[in-house]
Amino acid sequence: MLSRSATKLVAALAITLAAASVSACGNDPEPAPAGNPTAPIEIWVRKPPGSNTEKTHIALAAKFTEATGIKANVTALFDDFETKLQQAAAQKKLPDIVVNDTAQLGTLVKQGIVRDVAKGDIAGGDQLTPAAWDAARGSDGKYYAVPFSAQSFALFIRKDWREKLGIAQPKTWDELDALATSFTTKDPDGNGKADTYGYVIPGSTKRGYLDWYFSSFLWAAGGDYFSGNTGKLSPAIGSDASVTAAQWLKDQFCADKSVVPGAVTSETTQAHPLFETGKGGIYFTGPYNMARFDKNLGKDKYEVLALPAGPGGKSSSLAEGENVYLMAGSANPAGQKKFAEFLISVDGQTIGMAGDTDGNVVRLPVNKNVDLTKVRQDTRWVVFDKVYKEVGKYSPVVPEWTPFRQASAETLNAIVSDCASNPKAEMAKLAEKFTAELKKQGAGS
């Protein structure tokens, strides 16, 4: 009898050949290969080991096993997750399931390590929001994952600082910038030292963090990454509106000097403590940080507000979340599907929401039958839900988004790191890179 690793290797080769056949003839998705319906399911999640979010995933896996009899083992990885996944693929030791960012879909498809999904065959799939399903669709129109969680972003503002300085909640970008300047210059913590700042920004180029942060402001300024339709795109990143957004970002670093020092090398893991320890008073981030900040800073010391409308005349927020990816080569394709179906069920979504705790792995439910207000008492979640539904916007649909995000992050980082930089010229160069990448991916006009 073949070992599990050998079985997965054979299945992986079969899937690769099937995928090549499908690509060549343009047929509908091939049915999942036959396998052992009782084989254990190995699950990788992009969460810090030992965290409460890992514990929630373990609870989900245990509940799945209880319901189906299929064993499910969770491995939590965080640092260099994508690199470790590539290594597993090279060794033909992929997990059965990966729960990871929606933005990783194109990369995983390009690597050929995920199965496509027949949307109509997913039990409960018709109960998911259309927007969530859109985040599981590739540039070729096929689905390569099952949606699991959604999220939007909002401003976390030191309410105690704002009220001490007698400043109203910001309703415009100018008012937001003025608040950031006041936090930087008017000693809001009252310690007599010039040691506070306005904006906390994860400005590292690693994993494209600065572009990830910037995207909401880009759209609110009326800018965009591309114009045109999927498959026939042209760069819009060098447009006047996009340059306005880049200039705004640079001004915070260079003119107003209202950004916490060290931002250009900060990832989110370094940025979070800067807000909760009183170094910066304005942080545009996700709802998953509320429980952490409530504990480490105090719920009464900050407020959560939607980003005000920008120069483009409207507010915006990056819409993100996580998908359930069914990895190639699984010894138990039927179990993969059942696990995905469990995660999107009312029970799975409710467990994943983890009430008002910091163990939440479902930020906003993708199942329309789950009432957020009945699972959570904290009304701040409603802010994120409203933002997601009204102005949430997912990253553009291209064969592989990662090269664009990385190029953008590197350009933006260079702009804010050099106060003599010319945003218009740098964004024009970025547009040229976008043109070349679109051509490379066969997605340009």
What single string gives the DSSP state of each residue in 333-372?
HHHHHHHHHHHHSHHHHHHHHTTTSTT-S-SB-SBTT--H
**Same domain as 338, residue 223:** no
> How many structural domains comprise the chain?
2
Domain encompassing residue 291: 154-318+397-441
Residues 362, 426 share a domain: no
Residue with tokens 């890992």: 54
Whether residues 290 and 167 share a domain: the answer is yes
Do 422 and 367 share a structural domain? no
Q: How many residues does the chain have?
A: 445
pLDDT given at position 35: 83
d(CA 392, CA 318): 6
Cα dist from 234 to 151, 173, 243, 412, whole Å: 28, 28, 16, 20
Phi and psi for 117 in degrees, rounded to 5?
-120, 130
pLDDT of residue 439: 96
Of 408, 411, 414, nearest in space to 396 by CA: 408
Question: Do 271 and 308 belong together in one domain?
Answer: yes
414 and 360 housed in the same domain: no
Considering 393, 409, 430, which residue would you say is the last residue of a domain? 393
pLDDT for residue 230: 84
Residue 306 is classified by DSSP as: P
Asked if 349 contacts 365 with a C-beta cutoff of 8 angstroms, the reply is yes
Instruction: Give residue for tokens 């906003």.
Output: 364
Comparing CA positions, the residue from 410, 428, 93 lying closest to residue 242 is 428
pTM, to two decimals: 0.85
| Residues 431, 373 within the same domain | no
CA 315 – CA 258 distance, rounded (Å): 22
- Alpha helix positions (H), 69-199: 81-90, 105-111, 130-134, 159-164, 173-185
According to the model, what pLDDT value does residue 445 have? 84
For residues 408 and 313, membership in a common domain is answered with yes
List the chain pLDDT tens, one digit each, 445 residues: 334 443 443 344 344 433 333 333 333 444 445 689 999 999 999 999 999 999 999 999 999 999 999 999 999 999 899 999 999 999 999 999 999 999 999 999 999 999 999 999 999 999 999 999 999 999 999 999 999 999 999 999 999 999 999 999 999 999 999 999 999 999 999 999 999 999 999 999 999 999 999 999 999 999 999 999 888 999 999 999 999 999 999 999 999 999 999 999 999 999 999 999 999 999 999 999 999 999 999 999 999 999 999 999 999 999 999 999 999 999 999 999 999 999 999 999 999 999 999 999 999 999 999 999 999 999 999 999 999 999 999 999 999 999 999 999 999 999 999 999 999 999 999 999 999 999 999 999 8
Residues 295 and 355 placed together within one structural domain of the fold: no
Same structural domain for residues 358 and 348?
Answer: yes
Let me know whether 224 and 234 are in one domain. yes
At a CB cut-off of 8 Å and minimum separation 6, what does 263 contact?
Answer: 199, 200, 201, 202, 203, 253, 271, 416
* CATH code assigned at 350: 3.40.190.10
225 within 8 A of 396, measured Cβ to Cβ:
yes
As a whole number of angstroms, the distance between CA 163 and CA 142 comes to 50
Give the residue carrying structure tokens 């957020």.
Answer: 372
CA–CA dist 186, 57 (Å, integer) = 44
Q: What is the pLDDT of residue 200?
A: 98
Same domain flag for 17 and 101: yes
Give the integer Cα–Cα distance in Å for 96 and 115. Answer: 10
